[in-house]
Amino acid sequence: MSERKVRGAFIVVEGLDRSGKSSQVTLLEEHLKAEGVAVRLVKFPDRTTPIGKLIDSYLRSESEMDDRSIHLLFSANRWELAKSIQDSLESGTTVICDRYAFSGIAFSAAKNASGMSYEWCRGPDIALPAPDITLFLAVSPEQQRARGGFGEERYEKADFQERVEHVFERIGVEMGDGSRWFAVDADQRKEEVAQELWRLVQPLAKGTDRPLGRLWA
């Protein structure tokens, strides 16, 4: 019997703005490191690359862009890192991704712009490396408000976030049972959310011998 090689786990954390995602990603990273796991943190959009700089300027409303163009740039920003994510995983490093293709679909499809159906929005991200687990932080509009409301960036409006939430729900359902998509109640206290995330991640902490999948391919 041939032994399959263990690789790092690919963990994606998704959520609306003000869902506590950034804090949870940091806590998860610290927890994994404390367990002696090699971890790499990736954040999308990665605003440091040339494509990321265009995205950053759009999000700050310093530039305008066609809805399709910006959608494709968000996806291109993932593709430019796809190979290096795969390399990290294969070298045994666990990758935690703060937002991924699911944000790409949810925020763009929520615009309800003509010619930008859910399927169209999903297209450019087909065949990206698939996460081994996706943790969706579900926050209520009340909690978003209680956490001091939104910042200045594009998309940070209550009614828009509600539409984004609906697309995320659809993605979770359509990903199916084998996708390891978990919605976690992000209205709970920070420590409780962290505990729940850890329970879900722990089985993957030492890596996995599952071949790396491809999104929707």
Write out the residues near ligand NYM by the rule CB under 6 A: 17, 44-45, 59, 74, 99, 103-104, 107, 155
Residues from 55 through 114 that contact Mg ion (CB under 5 A):
none
Rounded to the nearest whole angstrom, what is the least distance from the CB of residue 35 to ligand NYM in the complex? 25
The secondary structure of residue 170, as a DSSP letter, is: H
Give me the sign of the Cα torsion angle 14, 151, 24, 207.
Answer: positive
Q: How far apart are CA 217 and CA 211, in angstroms?
A: 14
Nearer to Mg ion among residue 17 and residue 125 (C-beta):
17
Rounded to the nearest whole angstrom, what is the least distance from the CB of residue 181 to ligand NYM in the complex? 17
Nearer to Mg ion among residue 9 and residue 44 (C-beta):
44
Q: How far apart are CA 68 and CA 113, in angstroms?
A: 9
Rounded to the nearest whole angstrom, what is the least distance from the CB of residue 16 to ligand NYM in the complex? 8
Q: How many CB atoms lie within 10 A of CB 117?
A: 12
17 binds Mg ion (CB under 5 A): yes
165 binds Mg ion (CB under 5 A): no
Nearer to Mg ion among residue 45 and residue 129 (C-beta):
45
